[in-house]
Structure 1
Amino acid sequence: MNGPQGGGHGPEGPDDRPDAAPRIPGPRAAGDDLAPPDVLPSPPPVPAEPVPHGVLKSLLGAWALAACSAEETAAVEDHLTGCAPCAEEALRLRDAVALLHTDRDLDLDPLLRSRVLENCLGRRPARIPVPAWATAYDAETARLDALLRDIGDSEWHAPVRLKWFAGEEAVNRKTTVAGVIGHLMTVDGLVASALGLDDPAGSDAPTSPAERTERYWRSGYRPPTRRVREPWRQQSHALVRTVSFAGRGVSELSVSYGEFALPLRDSMLDRAFECWVHADDIANAVAYPYDPPSASHLHHMIDLAARLLPAALAARRRAGLAAPARHLVTAGSPGRTLHLEVEGAGGGNWYIALDSPAAVGDPDHTVAQVALDSVEFCQLVAGHVPPAEAAAGQDGDREAIRDVLSAAASLSRL
């Protein structure tokens, strides 16, 4: 074979000279070791146009809701570092957004609702305001409804033990969270009936709160569930609306509780008190934090109990459960008096006539003094604290003190 490929000698090229470099190339580097190919340098970045202040301000609401894109979020937060008014507005919006979450617990300031309503009504008074004597009921039913909205389905069946005093003995009754709401709705029906509204217990229901409750509990072939919340809340709304539209004269309308009656203004306060007490029972059953009512509402609740004490003491005296009267006086005259000093939020001083409901309590005729904390006094009236353990301070006639504390516990009922 001849030619260059056969090892012959053809025409000499520049690489065929004896002193030329060998034609076989050296080993190649791995692909990962190759230097990147030469490319043209990147053009300098074009500076972004500044976002107008008005646009950034309009994005604050979306930013607070975490609804901005990444670029918008960066622009807004960069703007907030240098604009104090927008930074203040952004913080206010973010705090407001935090209140919109429905899965929060109820650890809010108990006065928040009152402050919000007061501020709103200060700017635009309500055309049909809620009467002052019904505001405690409105507030306590709203607080209880917030608690009920926050608990789970299973917690509606949590056991709750209701407590009260009958005669000289502590009494209790076991039910569930749903059963407590049914009890509140059934007894609130007495107020509804007095106002001409539908009575959830029926037109033939007894007027005794205990009998009405027992009848309601027996009427269902299944234990009540969370479905009882809606009719209870609708009824409480209807009561507040009705007394608001009814005018001033309705406050003295009589509401019968079987063995006694109260004017509507006191009955609404009584219902507010029971709503709070049973809300606290429910909160304890489901391990939920729950605060007492506002100081002004608590004061009115204590005042109602203090006004009822002389009649309760007289009833216990007729039943042989209290010492006989010592110094009878004519109606409207001052007689032997116990000074009830209630300390803490909503507290004050009350003078309780000892010998007759028609007598007048008078500081100059004081024969005994009792000092209690406001919440402790309410727990006594609710039948949750034994009379012998209630008073923090006692001075004077021990028999009068014992009788008044026992009379306060006798105000409790199912």
Structure 2
Amino acid sequence: MTDHDDVRDLLAAWAFGALEPAEEHTVRPHLATCESCAAEAERLRTTARLLDGPSPESVEVSARVLEGPRPESDDAARGALDGLPPNPAGAVRDGLVVTPLDALLARARRARAAAAPVARHATPYAAAVAALGALLPELAGRWSTPVVHDWDVHATLAHLLAADEHLAVRLGVGARVPGARIDEDMEWGAAWERRTAEVIAHEYGRTPEETVAAWSAQAADLLATPYASDPELAAGTTLLMGIRLPVTEHFLVRGFEAWIHTDDIGRALGIAVPPPPEEHLGQLVRLAVRILGGALGSGAPPVLFGVRGGEEWVLGSQSDPVAAELTLDPVDFCLLVGGRYAPDAVPRNATGDAAAVRNVLEAAASLSWL
């Protein structure tokens, strides 16, 4: 292992201020001369600050200056848009506005605190909804900004309204857009695309604020169902998006998609959006690994797959010798599964059979429907 590799293995501990003195003497000089490690260290330090949370003074100032009064009704999304200038001034790094991060986190934490408590399986979705709600004040006057696929910001919110609708209807929540149905006879991908197109067309006939209000109310209704707070009730399975999963895991899928599209919107607007908290990210990674393992099947060449700083799994055959080892950053892995990385472009550490590694990466990318 090189000195460079040694330092990279210490960066997470450095970000959290947990290095031994001797390790500090190794890391600091290296960061002064290595641009890639310095950039990674800064990213990890920013994440560490976000996971720890801003100081009470920072939260108070951020909330007072950028959030305004916290809305108390189902029209929270509309209220959050009122009276706030888009894109408050802040430093720009790599094209992303950095200063609003504390404000986004403060808004999200306030929204989560005000929401009804939910069980662990629904917390990633609740947090992702809060994070997108925290981003809403930055959207005023920027709804036509291109985001992803052929969607602008308005259409992306409409897509999320359509995406959550399938689970909402299953759990007894009334649809916010006419014509909602789950057609079990149609191939799920075609049904999914058709409904998304219908909802986007419908929402283009309304104001962006009305679309936000509909999405926000539907999300609140989903989180208010007994399935969001009762793990035993949510342990039952249901078929959505071509896959039968426990309702607990469908809530995780909803959280995954809400985070991905919040990140899409942030990137389109030049605003750095924090990744999910570590615990939530772990839940999303484990869900993606379970689905990926099923997609690969037992006949694929076995690959020891791990996420940096986390768990490891053998994907593919469980009886043959491991053909390769593959390690990804957990956020990069989720972005790959979410279709935001091409298999050959995602940063990785890999050894062994290159074809076996490629098979895993391509299977992960093929899971995306976002």
Q: Report the Cα offset of residue 242 of structure 1.
A: 0.8
TM-superposed CA distance for 1:159, in Å, is: 1.2
Q: In the alignment, which of 282, 299, 304 is matched to residue 325 of structure 1?
A: 299
Question: Which residue of 174, 185, 200 maps to 1:198?
Answer: 174
| Deviation of 1:411 (Å) | 1.1
2:181 is paired with a residue whose SS is coil
The residue that corresponds to 1:295 in the other structure is 278
**Count of residue correspondences:** 279
| Preserved contact between residue 339 and residue 366 of structure 1 (Cα < 8 Å) | yes
Structure 2 partner of 1:225: 208
Structure ranking higher in helix proportion: 2
Once the two structures are superposed, what CA deviation does each residue of 1:313-359 show, in whole Å capped at 9, x if it has no partner? 24xxxxxxxxx937xxxxxxxxx631112115xx332222x14xxxx
For 2:360, the equivalent position in structure 1 comes to 404
* Kept in 2: contact 1:110–1:293 (CA 8 A): no
Could you state the TM-score of these two structures normalised by the residue count of structure 2? 0.66
Cα deviation per residue 1:139-183 (whole Å; 9 max; x = unaligned)?
A: 01001011013322x21121112xxxxxxxxxxx21111111111
> Does structure 2 retain, via aligned residues, the 8 Å contact 1:136–1:272?
yes
Residue 244 of structure 1 deviates from its aligned partner by 5.9
Selected match of 2:128 from 137, 140, 149: 140
- In structure 2, the partner of 1:348 is 311
Q: What is the TM-score of this pair, normalised by structure 1?
A: 0.60
Look up the SS of the partner of 1:401 in the other structure.
helix
For residue 345 of structure 2, the aligned residue among 389, 402, 409 is: 389
Change (3 A) 1:311 1:245: closer
Structure 1 residues 98 and 292: alpha-carbon distance in aligned structure 2, compared to 1, 3 A threshold: closer
Find the residue that maps to 2:143 and give its secondary structure.
helix
Deviations 1:247-276 (A, max 9, x none): 333222334324222211111111111111
Q: Is the 8 A contact 1:130 1:244 kept in 2?
A: no
Does structure 2 conserve the Cα–Cα contact (< 8 Å) formed by 1:313 and 1:404?
Answer: yes
Give the whole-Å Cα distance in 1 for the aligned partners of 2:335 and 2:165.
24
Aligned residue runs from structure 1 range 44-83, under 5 A: none
Alignment of 1:11-30 (within 5 A): none
Greater gyration radius: 1
Provide the rounded CA distance (Å) in 2 between the counterparts of 1:115 and 1:159. 28
Gaps of 5+ in 1: 1-90, 162-172, 315-323, 327-335, 356-360
Structure 2: gaps of 5 or more residues: 1-54, 68-83, 89-99
> How far apart, in 2, do the equivalents of 1:244 and 1:130 lie?
9
Distance in structure 2 (CA, Å) of the matches to 1:264 and 1:296 = 19
1:368 aligns with 2:324: yes
Distance in 2 of aligned mates of 1:92 and 1:111: 12
Aligned to 1:39: none
Q: 1:367 to 1:391 in 2, by over 3 A?
A: farther
Does the C-alpha gap of structure 1 residues 175 and 369 become closer, same or farther in structure 2, counting only changes over 3 Å? same
Partner SS, residue 176 of structure 2? coil
Q: Distance in 2 between matches of 1:351 and 1:190?
A: 32
Aligned partner of 1:158 in structure 2 is: 145
Q: Work out the CA distance in 2 between the residues paired with 1:141 and 1:155.
A: 20
Q: Distance in 2 between matches of 1:224 and 1:193?
A: 24
Partner Cα separation in structure 1 for residue 342 and residue 281 of structure 2: 21
Match of 1:99 in 2: 63
How far is the alpha carbon of 1:194 from its aligned partner?
Answer: 1.4
